[in-house]
Amino acid sequence: LTQLYRLVIDSVLLQQSHISLTPQQQHYLCRVLRLGSGAKFIVMDGKGQSWLAQLSERDAQLLEPLYNPTELSFPLTLISALPKGNGFEDVIRSCTELGVTTFIPVISTRTLLKPSPHKWERWRKIAQEAAEQSERQVVPTIFEPIPFTQVFSLLDSPADRYIPVARGEYPSLWQQLQNRPPQPVILAIGPEGGWTDTEITEAIAAQFQPVSLGKRILRAITASITAVSLASI
């Protein structure tokens, strides 16, 4: 079951073995992931249950429930302001090993990098190799880079949302993650220059909680690995 892609579907829509896909889900499976009729993929309800599913012409069928020996029991999304150089490749490699299910690279106010269009294919290859290496069942999804301000409209499902901020008296992410139910988690790590105050305010308005990863100032790559490690236990 290596190299299968994953789709989170609201459990309300999963009462029977037939899944009617929304136009967005259809687009994602057929255009973004380029899956054809008959292709298999994994459906997750985001609460720890998953199924092997098969795509048909206009919809999909659930084939069988999956026992998930290595996946986290909840989707873990990492929003990452693109670090300079090839830093994002390191983020993808390590954070795939740690269980991230979706990467959303973003361009923030202080992002230094203009990503080249060729990068995305390479990122996908790195994620696939890291998923195989760490014996995961699913390959994380990687979005194409988008401006940070556009990210909030993509996040519609309920999730625990955290924005690590390097300075300030915020509660620690570790503390915030204690005793929580296995809900989806979304983390947003800033660029080398940090998030701007406006970006932090916008994130808070979108239900992100500002958190600390300790008193030291971590590089963006270290901060990503640290935050994801705390969330993936």
List the structure tokens of 29: 């499976």
Question: Min. distance of Cβ 119 from ligand SAH in angstroms?
Answer: 20
Question: Min. distance of Cβ 223 from ligand SAH in angstroms?
Answer: 3
Nearer Cβ to ligand SAH (118/167): 167
Nearest alpha carbon to residue 151 among 75, 80, 74, 232: 80
Question: Min. distance of Cβ 102 from ligand SAH in angstroms?
Answer: 18
Phi, psi of 172 (to 5 degrees): -75, 145
Give me the residue whose beta carbon is nearest to ligand SAH: 190
Residues that bind ligand SAH (CB under 6 A): 164-167, 189-190, 192-195, 212-214, 216-218, 220, 223
Nearer Cβ to ligand SAH (99/194): 194
Nearer Cβ to ligand SAH (33/218): 218
Nearer Cβ to ligand SAH (46/190): 190
Nearer Cβ to ligand SAH (7/223): 223
Question: Min. distance of Cβ 139 from ligand SAH in angstroms?
Answer: 25
Question: Min. distance of Cβ 176 from ligand SAH in angstroms?
Answer: 12
Contact 36, 55 (CB under 8 A): yes
**CA of 225: how far to CAs of 80, 93, 149, 232, in Å?**
11, 10, 23, 10
Strand runs labelled E in the chain = 6-8, 18-19, 40-44, 50-55, 60-66, 76-81, 102-107, 141-142, 146-147, 160-164, 185-189, 208-211
